[in-house]
Amino acid sequence: MNVTAIPRPSRDPHRHAAPQVFDYLRERIVNLQLPPGTVIARAELQQLFGFSSTPVRDALLRLQEESLVEIFPQHATVVSPIDLKLARQAQFLRRSIEHEAVRTLALMDDTERRSVVAPLETAIDIQAALLGRGDLEAFHVADRDFHRLFFEAVGVPDLWVLARRHAGHIDRIRRLHLPIPGKAEQVIADHRAIVAGIAAGNAAQAEAALRNHLSKSLAFTPDLRARWPAYFRD
């Protein structure tokens, strides 16, 4: 598979070039349109985007900082394998922050909690509708949007940016896991359980539901690795 096999991106004249290349490639690495081992040629990217070499180089360097690509000078850039050590660290970071977030939300007064619960329930309804249409790509994005609401509701949106910066490897595991029969339905059930704890003002219930939810993809990793052994490294 090569980069030219993915859809041609649209260019935004109001954004700098390098972030456009970075965002486009990162999303396609995370959703496995560009799976581990894919060779990324800078010349192809320049042709694909219509940008000069500098923003393409800068975007690839940012991806390298997140360990999503490996750059071999004068040779090639390759999409990295899923690094299980980095995935575990990302899960630890995310779980730590979100535990505190759902606890904070559950301990709000009734009026504040209701104002938070309503958009969370709407986000779950959107996920259910996307699953009903069989749109797993949009479902995957909506899943992230649901969790982002926790960070925004407790006033720490910058920590969402931090968590996302470290999430590339665990997100690829989740994306591999998502098509397994029953997984998407379980995601929705887990989300409803988390929100039920928040709505009830029960911090322990909300935290336990979140802990259970965030543990599943890593727990399922041995099965995923057996299916796609070339995608992983320790």
Residue 60 burial class via C-beta count within 10 angstroms: exposed 0-12, middle 13-18, buried 19 and up: buried
Residue 129 shares a structural domain with residue 157: yes
Quote the number of domains for the chain: 2
Tell me, what amino acid is at 137?
E
Q: Contact at 8 Å (CB) between 43 and 193?
A: no
Could you report the per-residue pLDDT of 4-49, keeping only the tens digit for each?
555 666 666 667 888 989 999 999 999 999 999 999 988 888 888 8
Q: Confidence band (pLDDT; 50, 70, 90) for 1?
A: very low
Is the pTM value of this prediction over 0.75?
yes
Residue 205 shares a structural domain with residue 96: yes
User: Among candidates 203, 14, 55, which has minimal Cα distance to 25?
Assistant: 55
Residue 66 shares a structural domain with residue 148: no
Tell me, what amino acid is at 143?
D
Could you report the per-residue pLDDT of 161-206, keeping only the tens digit for each?
999 999 999 999 999 999 999 999 999 999 999 999 999 999 999 9
Could you report the per-residue pLDDT of 81-113, keeping only the tens digit for each?
999 999 999 999 999 999 999 999 999 999 999
Q: Residue 50 sits in which domain range? A: 3-80
Single out the residue in 14, 49, 80 at which a domain terminates. Answer: 80
From the CA atom positions of the chain, what is the Rg in Å?
A: 19
Matching residue, tokens 């996302």: 164
Indicate the DSSP class of residue 10.
P
Residue 121 shares a structural domain with residue 214: yes
Single out the residue in 60, 80, 100 at which a domain terminates. Answer: 80
SS3 39: strand
Could you report the per-residue pLDDT of 60-70, keeping only the tens digit for each?
999 999 999 99
